[in-house]
């Protein structure tokens, strides 16, 4: 809904790993571009303005939307956009401070108190989308046809109109708006629980980030010790995680049932502006390709590692010939920026301020949220990138990924608050493309066959994590929400659903240790944004197809690419991809992306001959 203003919900990248020391001067956020401090008079001024602006907006427009001409409707939209901007600025500041240290009681209280105030202030705006959806179709179309400036906003309103069949009564919609802060509390419980977990490995206490990093150590005994400690801690907290998932899945089931949603996934498809059949085609194409992708690659890796059977702690193990070196921050920055500038100097120019102006928070710190994200804040400020950087080669790719998001968000800001936000399926395009540019540059500069093999294997693993693993996650979520409709799920029930997708997706090269069945517990996507995960596979497949177009015909590609990013959420994926000759609704589209992964595996197999 257009009136929803809440804390930033970055979908934390659960695949991000970190490890190492002596990394150089790691940057921290400077949030003063939002507000100087939590006690700043500017913050109180904006909070007071928001309360008054929302009240006046409701007084001026409630019950009158259907009577406005195009000029008056445009003025109303612009007033609403300003409200979204101020509310978004407030919540971005509070949310980002919280993610810097989720165990800090003062930050948690500040966020919760601000969330309640913003929710209360914006409650009078709920009428906006409700009245919009009661407007007759011919009246709606003629209104936007009458004014070119207003017509620019139509894609945002079309997405609201897509919810028309699922809209409840005005009274119930107001009730659900007010109740939103309760659902957010379960997310905060998850975040605070995850951030507060302590793992003891080889006598050293560490956070979840550092513990997950141990799964990428060269020493297999260290990887096993980490996996078993992760399992021990997850198992010890599994009842809490099961309660969070049960409650949220039940809440979603109730909302979906009252709204008449045909499936648990439908709300995500609507917010992504993507057709259910397109997502199903993607899912089916990936599952059908499991034997040609993950099964085949992990059989190769099993041989490289000299194992009869792989364990889960071997999935992200480095190759035996891979050096266990640490990439310091300066080298990571140079690697990514060179890749970006090699594609187009404009890309590195947009990325530069992230490093020089406090737009990145890179280091691992106690209480900091795990994973990585790029949060766009509001269009009149700039994005912020969060990492947990400790120097693994994969962390360089995470930097390239999140910086891609940041570049996209900067470019899309020109669309304004209502149109800048990109549906999740397309939001992953620039991030995955940034990774691809970085990988291709490294591959082009490989010194020898062995380095090329290590790079190719690393990229294949990243693509499997992005495509195969995320579609397996999606299948797990589908099963979880379907099973919850039949009643409360015990931790063992959820464990069984998790394991039902693991062997299928990873293949016969693996055995699964006792305790791995609880590893669903730490994946933040399931809690923060149900069914988000297919967006990663969507983005990877789309980028692979885009990159193939770039290789085949590079002339003019950069300008078309920048135009696509600048469009933000103003166009449907079909219109955005048309200049490249691509169409995601074509059933054969996903084979293009999957064939690139297969080609890399072909090359790795050829190296064995």
Q: Which of 298, 330, 333, 332 is nearest to 317 (CA)?
A: 298
User: Are the beta carbons of 567 and 576 closer than 8 angstroms?
Assistant: yes
For residues 152-172, average pLDDT: 90
pLDDT of residue 585: 85
Q: Give the Cα separation of 298 and 31 in Å (integer).
A: 43
For residue 17, pLDDT over 50 is answered with no
Question: In sequence order, what are the beta bridge partners of 310?
Answer: 510
Of 21 and 269, the structure prediction assigns the larger pLDDT to: 269
Q: Which has the minimum average pLDDT: 303-307, 403-407, 586-590?
A: 586-590
pLDDT of residue 1: 40
For residue 115, pLDDT over 80 is answered with yes
Q: Would you report the helix, strand and coil content of the chain in percent, each value rounded to 5?
A: 70, 5, 30
Backbone angles phi, psi at 365, to 5 degrees: -140, 155
Q: Give the Cα separation of 314 and 299 in Å (integer).
A: 12
DSSP notation for 280-343: HHHHHHHHHHGGGTHHHHHHHHHHHHT-SSB-GGGTTPPPTTS------HHHHHHHHHHHHHHH
**Which pair of tokens denotes residue 363?**
């280091």
pLDDT (tens digit, 9 = 90+) per residue, 352-374? 999 999 999 999 998 898 889 99
Mean model confidence pLDDT for the chain: 92
pLDDT of residue 587: 74
Task: Enumerate residues 6+ apart whose C-beta is below 8 A from 104.
Answer: 98, 367
For residues 452-456, average pLDDT: 91
For residue 113, pLDDT over 60 is answered with yes
131 membership: H or E segment, kind and range: helix 127-134
DSSP notation for 56-81: HHHHHHTTTGGG--HHHHHHHHHHHH
For residues 304-329, average pLDDT: 90
Torsion angle of the four alpha carbons 415, 421, 422, 428, in this order, in degrees rounded to the nearest 10: 120
From the centroid of its chain, how far is CA 373?
A: 7
For residue 10, pLDDT over 60 is answered with no
pLDDT band for position 609 (cuts 50, 70, 90): low
pLDDT (tens digit, 9 = 90+) per residue, 536-568? 899 899 999 999 999 998 999 999 999 999 999
Alpha carbons within 13 angstroms on the beta-carbon side of residue 233 total 21
Of 520 and 445, the structure prediction assigns the larger pLDDT to: 520
Q: Which of 540, 397, 378, 506 is nearest to 387 (CA)?
A: 397
Q: Give the Cα separation of 99 and 104 in Å (integer).
A: 10
Beta strands in 34-175 (DSSP E): none
The rounded percent of the chain whose pLDDT value lies above 70 is 96
pLDDT of residue 70: 96
Looking at domain 280-607, its CATH architecture is: Orthogonal Bundle (1.10)
pLDDT of residue 435: 93
pLDDT band for position 273 (cuts 50, 70, 90): confident
pLDDT of residue 177: 81
User: Are the beta carbons of 118 and 42 closer than 8 angstroms?
Assistant: no
pLDDT band for position 14 (cuts 50, 70, 90): very low
For residues 453-477, average pLDDT: 94
pLDDT of residue 21: 58
pLDDT (tens digit, 9 = 90+) per residue, 220-255? 999 999 999 999 999 999 999 999 999 999 999 999
What are the structural domain ranges in the chain? 33-162, 280-607
pLDDT (tens digit, 9 = 90+) per residue, 173-223? 888 888 877 777 888 899 999 989 999 999 999 999 889 989 989 999 999
Is the Cα torsion angle 24, 28, 30, 34 positive or negative in sign? positive
* Fold (CATH) for 33-162: Butyryl-CoA Dehydrogenase, subunit A; domain 3 (1.20.140)
């Amino acid at each position: 809904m257009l009136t929803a203003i809440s804390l930033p919900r970055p979908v934390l990248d659960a695949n991000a790993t970190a490890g190492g020391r002596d990394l150089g001067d790691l940057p921290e956020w400077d949030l003063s571009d939002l507000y100087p401090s939590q006690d700043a008079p500017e913050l109180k001024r904006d909070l007071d303005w928001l309360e008054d602006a929302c009240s006046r907006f409701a007084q001026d427009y409630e019950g009158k939307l259907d009577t406005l001409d195009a000029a008056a409707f445009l003025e109303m939209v612009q007033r609403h956009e300003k409200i979204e901007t101020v509310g978004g600025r407030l919540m971005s500041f509070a949310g980002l401070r919280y993610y810097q240290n989720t165990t800090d009681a003062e930050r948690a209280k500040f966020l919760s108190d601000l969330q309640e105030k913003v929710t209360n202030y914006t409650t009078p705006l709920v009428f906006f989308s409700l009245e919009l959806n009661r407007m007759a179709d011919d009246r709606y179309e003629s209104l936007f046809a009458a004014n070119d400036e207003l017509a620019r906003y139509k894609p945002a309103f079309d997405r609201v109109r897509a919810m028309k069949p699922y809209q409840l009564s005005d009274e119930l919609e107001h009730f659900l708006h007010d109740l939103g802060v309760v659902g957010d509390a379960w997310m905060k419980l998850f975040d605070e629980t995850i951030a507060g977990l302590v793992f003891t490995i080889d006598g050293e206490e560490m956070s979840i980030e550092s513990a997950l990093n141990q799964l990428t150590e060269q020493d297999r005994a260290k990887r096993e010790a980490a996996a078993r400690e992760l399992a021990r801690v997850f198992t010890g907290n599994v009842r809490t995680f099961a309660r969070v998932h049960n409650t949220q899945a039940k809440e979603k089931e109730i909302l979906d049932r009252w709204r008449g949603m045909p499936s648990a996934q439908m709300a995500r498809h609507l917010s992504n502006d993507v057709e259910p059949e397109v997502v199903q085609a993607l899912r089916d194409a990936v599952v059908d390709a499991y034997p040609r992708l993950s099964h085949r690659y992990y059989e190769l890796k099993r041989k490289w590692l000299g194992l009869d059977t792989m364990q889960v702690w071997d999935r992200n193990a480095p190759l035996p010939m891979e050096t266990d070196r640490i990439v310091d921050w300066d080298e990571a920055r140079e690697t990514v920026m060179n890749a970006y500038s090699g594609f187009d100097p404009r890309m590195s120019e947009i990325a530069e301020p992230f490093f020089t102006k406090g737009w990145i928070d890179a280091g691992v710190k106690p209480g900091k949220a795990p994973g990585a994200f790029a949060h766009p804040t509001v269009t009149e400020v700039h994005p912020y990138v969060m990492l947990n950087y400790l120097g693994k080669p994969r962390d360089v790719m995470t930097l390239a990924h999140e910086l891609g998001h940041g570049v996209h968000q900067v470019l899309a800001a020109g669309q304004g608050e209502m149109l800048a936000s990109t549906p999740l399926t397309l939001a992953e395009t620039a991030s995955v493309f940034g990774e691809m540019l970085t990988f291709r540059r490294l591959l082009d500069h490989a010194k020898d066959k062995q380095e090329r093999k290590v790079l190719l294997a690393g990229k294949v693993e990243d693509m499997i994590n992005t495509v195969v693993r995320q579609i397996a996650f999606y299948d797990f979520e589908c099963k979880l929400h379907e099973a919850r409709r039949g009643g409360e799920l015990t931790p063992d029930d959820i464990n069984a659903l998790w394991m039902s997708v693991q062997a299928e997706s990873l293949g016969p090269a693996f055995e699964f240790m006792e305790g791995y069945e609880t590893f669903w517990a730490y994946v933040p996507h399931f809690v923060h944004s149900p069914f988000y995960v297919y967006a990663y596979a969507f983005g990877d497949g789309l980028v692979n197809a885009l990159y193939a177009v770039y290789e085949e015909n590079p002339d003019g590609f950069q300008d078309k690419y920048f135009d696509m990013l600048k469009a933000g959420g103003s166009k449907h994926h079909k219109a955005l991809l048309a200049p490249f000759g691509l169409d995601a609704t074509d059933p054969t589209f996903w084979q293009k992306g999957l064939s690139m992964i297969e080609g890399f595996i072909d090359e790795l197999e050829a190296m064995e001959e």
